[in-house]
Amino acid sequence: MTTTISPLAPAGFPALPAIPGVTLRIARARYKTWDRCDLTFVTLDPGTVVAGVLTQSRCPSPEVEWCRKALILGQARALVVNAGNSNAFTGDRGRAAVENLAARTAQHLGCQPSDVFLASTGVIGVPLPIDKSEAGLAAAFTAEPCGWEDAAATIMTTDTFAKAAVTTAIVDGRTVSLVGIIKGSGMIMPDMATMLGFVFTDAAVEPAFLQSALSDANVKTFSCITVDSDTSTSDTVLAFATGAAGNAPLASDEDTGADAFRAALADLCRQLAHLVVRDGEGASKFITIDVTGAESDRSAHRIALSIANSPLVKTAIAGEDANWGRVVMAVGKAGEPAERDKLAIRFGETQVARDGLAVTGYDEAPVAAHLKGNDIDIGVDLGLGEGRATVWTCDLTHGYISINGDYRS
């Protein structure tokens, strides 16, 4: 775990309310040599429902495969998260470790193993040590309950700060709370979600509606961030709803408060997604890329990702170089409809190119000033249609190489 906090980190950890029906505990399984807790154990009251979005990697971890099957039932009693070992690409030994953790947790709680959800993050290719996971879990069973910040810190790997967010919504005349914690810093360009994220709410929600709301929120939040264009084997976002708020359960968009709940969940996911980018490995700039005028939203999204993932664009931003020609390059290579003579580009509020040419009399000074800040805005208009998309990324610095060059040590 890195000790130098990202310059893009928020001023502090937010004040988060307790979610009735959710109890957090942490323990040391000692998966790595670090001297900190690395196992998070969350118990959930009976009746808690769950939804999730999982990596589309063709080499998923056994934890992802376990969650994928368990999500079909829509019920949850516990969450176990391991940090320091992803347990991915570990064959039968990895699957046995997952089954063992689920069985031991289910026995402890008196529930079914399918009610237990698991996630692991860290080095790929090393089986999760069953002896260490058992010892860590046993310690967690008897640990005192902890707060959100401890839980958020325990799921970290190369993260430099604990990440969390909160929102509320009015549902059926009652105020419901939504709290989320997340970890992620590198290996970030999800096809569904980012690294590991967990949302908890006291709202009463039917599993199918919760799944629909989370999937929709993901499309414009977690699936719109990238640090390095790499999708993890372990990406998992799970949402748990305890129903303790006592509202009439949300089952469809016709129910009172359904729109408010969807909006609150989307806002929470957006906050969490931004925090991951702000902790991108070695990041010094938070970059927002807005693409408009594309033939479709899908096309705009692909173009925005092409810009966001370009090492030449990212290093130019790191060096505070107003090299908008690299944005042109990234648009052109995206494989999506684009016409050079209709293309327009802006940095911040300054239009730098229009109609396929540099703007006449373009003054680079305000762009240079914009690039010296921490928050960078790049706008691209294709001039072809109504498609639009926003993607968030960070710059690429020597820090990224340093972190990943010795990641396993």
For 37-48, the pLDDT digits (tens) are 999 999 999 999
Mean pLDDT in residue range 340-344: 96
pLDDT at 297 over 50: yes
What does the domain layout of the chain look like in residue ranges?
22-278, 286-405
Of the two residues 147 and 233, the one the predictor is more confident about is: 147
Question: Do the domains spanning 22-278 and 286-405 agree at the CATH topology level?
Answer: no
Mean pLDDT in residue range 141-150: 98
- Torsion angles phi and psi, residue 226, rounded to 5: -155, 140
State the angle between helix axes of 62-70 and 91-109 in degrees (0 to 180), rounded to the nearest 10.
50
Q: Are 250 and 169 in contact (CB under 8 A)?
A: no
pLDDT tens for residues 357-382? 999 998 999 999 999 999 999 999 99
pLDDT at 386 over 60: yes
pLDDT at 3 over 70: no
CATH, range 286-405: 3.10.20.340
pLDDT at 213 over 80: yes
- Provide, rounded to the nearest whole percent, the portion of the chain with pLDDT above 90: 86
pLDDT at 232 over 90: no
3-state secondary structure of 368: helix
Q: Whats the size of the chain, residue-wise?
A: 409
Q: Which tokens hold the place of 131?
A: 């002896």
What value does the mean pLDDT of the chain take? 94
Rounded Cα gap, residues 214 and 264, in angstroms: 11
CATH, range 22-278: 3.60.70.12
323 known member of a binding site:
no
65 known member of a binding site:
no
pLDDT at 409 over 70: no
Residue with tokens 């968030």: 392
Q: Is 99 exposed, middle or buried (0-12, 13-18, 19+ CB in 10 A)?
A: middle
Give one word for 245, left, alpha or beta, with left for phi > 0 and alpha for psi -120 to 50: alpha
Q: Is 368 exposed, middle or buried (0-12, 13-18, 19+ CB in 10 A)?
A: middle
pLDDT at 407 over 60: no
157 known member of a binding site:
yes
DSSP letter at 379 equals E
What pLDDT shows up at residue 57?
A: 87
Given the residues 40, 90, 194, 236, select the one marked as catalytic.
194
Rounded Cα gap, residues 132 and 130, in angstroms: 5
State the angle between helix axes of 91-109 and 130-142 in degrees (0 to 180), rounded to the nearest 10.
20
pLDDT tens for residues 249-296? 999 999 999 999 999 999 999 999 999 999 988 899 999 999 999 999
Report CA Rg, the chain.
22
Q: How confident is the model at residue 1 (pLDDT cuts 50, 70, 90)?
A: very low
pLDDT tens for residues 64-80? 999 999 999 999 999 99
String of DSSP letters for 202-226: -S-B-HHHHHHHHHHHHHTTGGGB-
Mean pLDDT in residue range 319-324: 93
183 known member of a binding site:
yes
DSSP letter at 145 equals P
281 known member of a binding site:
yes
Mean pLDDT in residue range 182-195: 80
Mean pLDDT in residue range 215-240: 92
154 known member of a binding site:
no
175 catalytic residue (yes or no): no
What pLDDT shows up at residue 350?
A: 96
Q: Give which of 105, 98, 103, 52 is closest to 75, Cα–Cα.
A: 52
Mean pLDDT in residue range 167-175: 97
